[in-house]
Structure 1
Amino acid sequence: MKSDMAARAEEAAEAARLAEEAAAKAREAARLARLAAEEAEAEGEAAEETDGEDAAKSLQKPDEPQDGPEVTSDGDSSPEGDSDAPEPASATTEQADDDDDEEDEPEKPRKRSSKVKLAKTRGASRSSRSAGSLTLVIAVLAVLTVALGAGTTALALKVREQHATETAAKEASFAASRAAQKLSSYDYQTLDADLKEASATTTGKLHTQYDKLAAELRATAIQRQAVSNTTVLKVGVESATPEKVVALVYANRSSATKDDKQQSLPESLRIRLTMVEKDGKWLASELVVIS
């Protein structure tokens, strides 16, 4: 009935509203996650730049002074009177000084290398933490995106189904009104055309039943010169899906024959029709006269 259809329409509208709100919240969450991802990426880049600057500064630090006395040449350290001292001793001393310098020089690169490695390790640790945070944010963003897509798809399907049901109810109601009027109206003068039009509104089991009834009615209607007119007053939808609609038809029918001495009063009809779609048309598959 109309009240049931209205209730279902209100429920569908409320479901659509809630789904739209959920989709809006999901979009807002996705936006916040995107901003968090951008901030995490910016922090990671800043940390990398800072580590690079620290490493560069450590490389530019002056060499540390070497321990031990400075070795000078024999000519400067020796007294003037010793200018005739034998040169082999000076050569030996210079060779020893060179050996000491060679032993001290490798220590400098090792100190610098340690500082550079430490800076790189710290930078790698910060980059790893930033990358981990960024990965987590991206994962959350991906989940929200999937949820948003699923919610939007479900909402679209729900709206499409609701629209299809409303269209079916509207079209089937009109077809049920026409079928009820044709199936209960005829005139003996145009009987063949009337019965043919009525049969065209049916399908399935009802189509077979009506054709048998029409064959019986043809003989009696012509003989009695019978006329039947039906006026539909109201149509209500009892249930509806995109493929099937059950409608209640309220109508008045008046009939007359050549034997009637006075015109009879119209009788009320209440008919339940089950309508199905076939080849783009809504046809009556079942008919029950309630009263």
Structure 2
Amino acid sequence: TSSWVRYAAIGAVAAILVGALVFSGVVGMKVWRQHQIDAAGEQAQAVAVAYTEVLTSVESDKIDENFRQILNGATGKFKDDFTQASIQLRQLLIDNKSGAEGKVVNSAIESKATDKVVILMMVDQSVKNVNVRDQRVDKNRMKITMVKIDGRWLASDLTYL
């Protein structure tokens, strides 16, 4: 009987160890996954802030370069929509000698995953053109969706709030 008790004790200890290892593995995977999601959110937010400043800053004498940078950071429907709108917008900006400088004053992550992050932006945009003597500052609020494609965070949607 003493050998039976000893085997039972060894079996119980082994079962507890296996259970602890499984539990640690599951918890470790959840922590690692959350770390990946948090890191993706931070990366996408940093890219989105820089991209939003490019998107909201334009000079009529550098319009082609401005638009090239905007399209380089865009994808999907947002890229298609901007491509179509840019034809008319380009001429309007040139004709009015328009310029704008955008500065993100605050941003926050609304939702995040490893390959898609939605960010809320508060942007102050100084605007000037031939019809406005003094620069004016527009306070824009927007929601930008960033998606990770081939290792790059790109804007796939933009909504003014």
* TM-score of the two chains, using structure 1 as the length reference: 0.53
- Alpha-carbon shift at residue 155 of structure 1 (Å): 2.0
Structure 2 contact 128–136 (Cα < 8 Å) conserved:
no
1:280 paired residue among 148, 151, 158: 151
Structure 1 contact 203–284 (Cα < 8 Å) conserved:
yes
- Could you list the per-position Cα deviations for residues 239-283 of structure 1 after superposition, in whole angstroms to 9, with x for gaps in the alignment? 2122221111111112111233x2142010111011111111111
Structure 1 contact 165–242 (Cα < 8 Å) conserved:
yes
1:232 aligns to 2:99 (yes or no): no
Q: How far apart are the structure 1 equivalents of 2:77 and 2:10?
A: 60
Match of 1:175 in 2: 47
Higher helix share: 1
Match of 1:29 in 2: none
- Could you list the per-position Cα deviations for residues 10-51 of structure 1 after superposition, in whole angstroms to 9, with x for gaps in the alignment? xxxxxxxxxxxxxxxxxxxxxxxxxxxxxxxxxxxxxxxxxx
2:10 paired residue among 138, 147, 153: 138
Gaps in structure 1 of 5+ consecutive residues: 1-128
Match of 1:157 in 2: 29
The alignment partner of 2:114 has SS state of coil
Provide runs of 4+ in structure 1 moved above 4 Å.
none
Identity in percent: 24
1:218 paired residue among 87, 90, 110: 90
Higher strand share: 2
1:267 aligns to 2:133 (yes or no): no
Match of 2:113 in 1: 241
Alpha-carbon RMSD: 1.3
* TM-score of the two chains, using structure 2 as the length reference: 0.93
- Alpha-carbon shift at residue 181 of structure 1 (Å): 1.4
How many pairs are equivalent? 161
